[in-house]
Chain A
Amino acid sequence: MLGRKAITRRRLLKAGIGALGAGALAACQPAATPQVIEKEVTKIVEGTPQIVKETVVVEKTLVVEAGQKPVEIRWACYALGEQREKTAQECADDLMQKNPNVKVSIEWRPGMGYWDKLQTEFAAGTAPDVTINQMNWVIPGAARGMFLDLKPFIERDNFPLDEYWYPMNLEWEWRGGLYGLLVYAGGQALYVNKTLLAEAGLDLPEPDWTWDDFLMYAQALTDEEKGQWGVLDAHLAPPYWGCSFIHGAGGTVLNDAYNKCTLTEPAAIEGVKFPHDLMFKYKVLPTPAAVSQYGYFEAFHSGKAGMGFAGTFWVGQVRDASKSQGFEWEFAHMPVHPQTRKRSVQLGSNVWSILGNTRYREESWALVAYLGGYEGQRKWMKFGLPGPRSLVESQEFLDVWKPQDVRIPVSDMECCGHDYYPTADCDEWWNALGQEWGPIWSGEATVEEALSRACAAIDEIFARRPPYYEKV
């Protein structure tokens, strides 16, 4: 039978791997030897056991010379809550078990001031070895040598980066180098409140629904008396969710080389006018004035919004709120622009990076490769989307995210994900953009005025850039 044969083959393979491993150790080069194996694993796919081939990074076992001193690497991250911290510790323990000469000590730090402290430590030479990283830190740091390029390691060890469905190059690449591996993947998702939809007599939207359909849904779901909103999008400012409308209309925030602002072009203006109309003309989207300062998605959490844009990493909060307030919810596809037929969502994830002045590159790479590899991604996938395609398509993963259909945001991200315009000076031009962007939504400026002022400010910043800020 298929099953029996598979098991037998698996046993053979296991023995083969063991022999290979032992052989590698016996060869005993002083440098670390990577071990990447193509495994055949039995998986239950739709009820029948089938053999599925997966390329898996077998956790790196670093070869230890006789008399080599144990190495301690410091892994820093901001506090992530009890569950994620437990998972991180499991990963560290697993790695330490496989590499007895390596000790991984995790430093949980406060989130506020994390970046200030990391920069200070780097300047003084006392930085940790591995750190959590985020979109406004990675490229600026990479451009200045703060983070290690992982491409050499990836190529040397055959890390299966092409197995990823998530476009790592868009977000975390800089001048050909890659500067982090996923904590987990994520990005913009559209949450809908099924209970409210049913009350309004609506079905879940079709995958290819347009902006006009979207508007209709939003209007049906808005009820001023009940204090109910059709849609929420409190993170409009580029590079966040507002970009998806700009891209859908055919515009962009910056040109391809990321050195000129293109927000004054008609398509971009149209893309900003749409949410502006949602807010002021159709009144289905609350103004910032109407959104509490406490968090940014409360109306949805309170069951008072029919739809809302938020990151996939927000799913834990939504699950809690839906349980506590008693409503059902589901994901929906990003609507397409009626004329251009374009759909766009923003990508947004976190990565683990290695600090540029670490003394223990191999050991740090072992940790990062574990976390970004199959085993690590599998452990973290209850919190976010895993990077490897085999995992994101596996039943196991779909089960974790039940009863919602996580394939919806995943497919949107895969086909139509856009990066957040990473540049070496993100914080500066995002701030300049944000300053001019705000008055649009408080009614103090028109869309055209604000966007032209924003472009002027952004281009001024870009004009003063030193040459090494350029993307290529």
Chain B
Amino acid sequence: MQEADSKPQPVRRRMSPSEKREALEGFLAISPWVLGVIIFLIGPIVASLFLSFTEYEVVKPPVFIGLANYTRLVKDRLFWQALKVTATYVFTSVPLSISLAFAVALLMNQKVAFLGLFRTVYYMPNLVPSVASAILWSWIFNPEFGLLNMFLRRLGVANPPMWLISTKWAMPAIIIMSLWGVGGPMLIYLAGLQGIPTELYEAAEIDGAGSVARFRHVTLPQMSPVLFFNLVMGIIGSWQVFTAGYIMTGGGPRYATWFYVLYLYNSAFRYFRMGYASALAWVLALIILFFTALVFRSSTAWVYYAGELKGRR
């Protein structure tokens, strides 16, 4: 079954000259990134780790305090609230947006009149700067005059939710708003769909596969690398959701939309606690890394690459 998996390799083995050359080519290929990390990233990242062990009030020099930020974090009820809120967001919006974008991309992949127009319309929300769209959505969610509630009232809903000022409905409102950006992943799916060789579909059809079977056995496997991408990027991105909370709700009401990076930002630039914010950042990075690694591990089971080259020959 798993014929593409390589046999376990001995840990140390001298590389043949061709392997050495290939390794060299590999390092050469990734050298721009490595250089970039050395020049632009290593310093700030190490600095932020160091700062997490200090009390740094931004406009005063940092003071070393050891693990105090981390112990404070564990006892901080706002930290746990932020985790809860953000996790809820992640585990709701990521599956929703991935499947919705996929469905829309499948729709867009048909031969439809005005296809270009449709694709543009569906991508338009992503063309509006996030700040302007946050303002627009604040208006749409207005409980009295907003479009959404006026529409719901038209449908006969007597007491439509108060959306952004309700502790129960603020988060759903933000999730709905995040789905408006479905055009981004949709575009990536579209590009992936375009890359599926049509002979695969033809051959499947000839073999008697109906549209559902074609989807299961051709589309999904061929799209799995792209699905994997959107899933991983969805995880990394949604754990760091920020603008909606910052612009629209300020984290409220009663911390209902108290996103993790919002708390981090407030600590860093509003409460003069950059050291604590750095500790928050590293905890978040570990959390995201954990989930990403999980998905990576699972990917050998469900992601199919037509052109994969495993690590060693």
Contacts and interface: CB of A to CB of B under 8 A. Distances in A.
Contacts of A294: 135, 138-139
A144 interface: yes
A141 B59 contact: yes
A431 B250 contact: yes
B309 to A, nearest CB: 44
A291 B164 CA distance: 13
A145 B60 contact: yes
Given A442-B162, A442-B253, A144 B272 contact: yes
> Which label, helix, strand, loop or mixed, suits the secondary structure of the A interface?
helix
A40 interface: no
B312 interface: no
Interface string B112-155: 00000000000000000001000100110111110000000000
A435 B252 contact: yes
Contacts of B166: 442, 444
B253 A439 contact: yes
Contact of A425 (B131, B135, B271): B271
A38 interface: no
Contacts of A144: 57, 59-60, 272
Interface string A429-452: 001001110110110100000000
A435 B255 contact: yes
Nearest to B57: A144
Given A292-B145, A293-B142, A428-B271, A438 B252 contact: yes
A2 interface: no
A122 interface: yes
Contact of A292 (B139, B269, B272): B139
B253 A444 contact: yes
A116 B271 contact: no
B63 to A, nearest CB: 11
Contacts of A289: 142-144, 162, 165
A27 interface: no
A357 to B, nearest CB: 9
A423 to B, nearest CB: 12
A130 B252 CA distance: 34
A61 B166 CA distance: 58
B251 interface: yes
A293 B249 CA distance: 11
Interface string B55-66: 001111000000
A338 interface: no
A289 B164 CA distance: 9
Given A427-B270, A438-B252, A122 B59 contact: yes
Contacts of B59: 119, 122-123, 141, 144-146, 356
B167 interface: yes
Nearest to B247: A112
Contacts of A115: 269
Contacts of B139: 292-294
B254 interface: yes
Contact of A122 (B58, B138, B250, B270): B58
B279 to A, nearest CB: 16
A242 to B, nearest CB: 16
Contact of B254 (A119, A145, A428, A439): A439
B162 A112 contact: no
Contacts of A290: 143-145
A441 to B, nearest CB: 8
A439 B164 CA distance: 11
A119 B58 contact: yes
Contacts of B135: 293-294
* 8 nearest A-B residue pairs (beta carbon): A289-B143, A293-B138, A438-B253, A427-B270, A290-B144, A146-B59, A442-B165, A428-B271
12 contacts: A112-B131, A119-B269, A122-B58, A289-B144, A294-B138, A425-B271, A427-B270, A431-B266, A435-B255, A438-B254, A442-B165, A444-B166
Interface of A: 112, 115-116, 119-120, 122-123, 140-141, 144-146, 288-294, 356, 425, 427-428, 431, 434-436, 438-439, 441-442, 444
